[in-house]
């Protein structure tokens, strides 16, 4: 995995000094081969030890190893910037826009994959598989993937309850307890109503799974398991698109894991698909 990708995905969780180092490395990766740790420290006005500690925090023995790894990534064209490397820009402006969007989505999905280790995804899939009931909620734009996921779970025989209103969900979860799961989708994870719902659900003995941005937020604090999404773009109208693309990838992965955990799930999915098609054909 590219060290630049790792730096980008973990940036929002870094200290102020670490973010300064991270930003400099991301913006000047092509110049690092000529920089010693002391020269980098001088350029940023920080101590050399801060550069060394930053490198070690990323899992490298020291700055030389980090610099070498970044150099290898650059040689592979693995910079993951919005310009899509050194490739020539398409002559058609619409094609250039489309390629930039595709690259942005691909980068967001890679970053999101990096910060969600397989064992976390596996644990959440296991939790949902054995749940008595799965409650799914998302407000605003998060309501679309929440509804889609609940329908998919129902198609493979998992009892899923979906609401777009936290008051209705609170009423539905009043009888929830051990063996039940609440999945809350909230990009910023700061909505008071959803935090209150998660806290009440946990107090009843159920398990809470949150899906938010990877920055610290109140909803994550109430969750037993957290799905984290990393998606960044300087364009305000594009960043939400990258977020929901990466979020959908996470939810799709969990659904596929559930489907492939036995032929019973797949047979159930086939039967439900046939029923739906029969209704559409009437």
Q: What's the CA gap between 231 and 242, in Å, rounded?
A: 6
pLDDT in tens, 214-228: 888 999 999 999 999
> Where does residue 7 rank: exposed (0-12), middle (13-18), buried (19+ CB within 10 A)?
buried
- The reported pLDDT for the residue numbered 88 is 52
Instruction: Please report which confidence band the pLDDT of residue 1 belongs to, taking 50, 70 and 90 as the band edges.
Output: low
Whole-model pTM: value is 0.73
pLDDT in tens, 30-49: 888 888 999 999 989 999 99
Q: Is the pLDDT of residue 87 over 80?
A: no
**CATH 3.40.50.2000 fits domain 3-76:** no
Q: Is the pLDDT of residue 22 over 60?
A: yes
Q: Is the pLDDT of residue 231 over 60?
A: yes
Conformational region of residue 205, where left means phi above 0, alpha means psi within -120 to 50, and beta covers everything else? left
- The reported pLDDT for the residue numbered 135 is 97
- The reported pLDDT for the residue numbered 211 is 97
Question: What are the domain boundaries of the chain?
Answer: 3-76, 111-280
Q: What's the CA gap between 183 and 79, in Å, rounded?
A: 34
- The reported pLDDT for the residue numbered 84 is 40
Instruction: Please report which confidence band the pLDDT of residue 141 belongs to, taking 50, 70 and 90 as the band edges.
Output: very high
State the average pLDDT for the chain: 88
Mean per-residue pLDDT, 151-161: 92
Topology of the domain comprising 111-280: Rossmann fold (3.40.50)
CB 184 within 8 A of CB 138: yes
């Amino acid at each position: 995995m590219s060290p630049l990708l790792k730096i980008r995905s973990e940036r929002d969780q870094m200290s102020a000094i670490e973010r300064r180092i991270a930003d400099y490395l991301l913006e000047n990766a092509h110049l690092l081969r000529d920089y010693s740790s002391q020269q980098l420290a001088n350029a940023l006005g920080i101590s050399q030890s801060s550069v060394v500690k930053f490198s070690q925090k990323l899992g490298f023995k020291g700055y030389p190893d980090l610099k070498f790894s970044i150099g290898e990534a650059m040689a592979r064209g693995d910079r993951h910037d919005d310009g899509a490397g050194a490739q020539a820009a398409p002559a058609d402006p619409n094609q250039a826009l489309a390629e930039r969007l595709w690259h942005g989505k691909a980068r967001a999905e890679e970053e999101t994959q990096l910060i969600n280790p397989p064992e976390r995804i596996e644990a959440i899939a296991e939790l949902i598989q054995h749940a008595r009931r799965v409650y799914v909620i998302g407000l605003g734009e998060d309501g679309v993937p929440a509804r889609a996921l609940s329908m998919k779970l129902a198609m493979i025989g998992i009892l899923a309850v979906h609401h777009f209103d936290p008051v209705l969900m609170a009423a539905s979860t009043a009888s929830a307890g051990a063996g039940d799961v609440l999945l809350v989708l909230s990009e910023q994870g700061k909505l008071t109503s959803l935090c209150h719902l998660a806290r009440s659900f946990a107090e009843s003995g159920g398990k809470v799974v949150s899906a938010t941005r990877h920055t610290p937020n109140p909803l994550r604090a109430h969750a037993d398991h957290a799905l984290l999404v990393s998606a960044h773009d300087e364009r305000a109208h594009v960043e939400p698109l990258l977020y929901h693309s990466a979020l959908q990838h996470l939810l799709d992965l969990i659904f596929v894991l559930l489907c492939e955990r036995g032929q019973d799930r797949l047979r159930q999915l086939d039967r439900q698909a046939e029923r739906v098609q029969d209704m559409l054909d009437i």
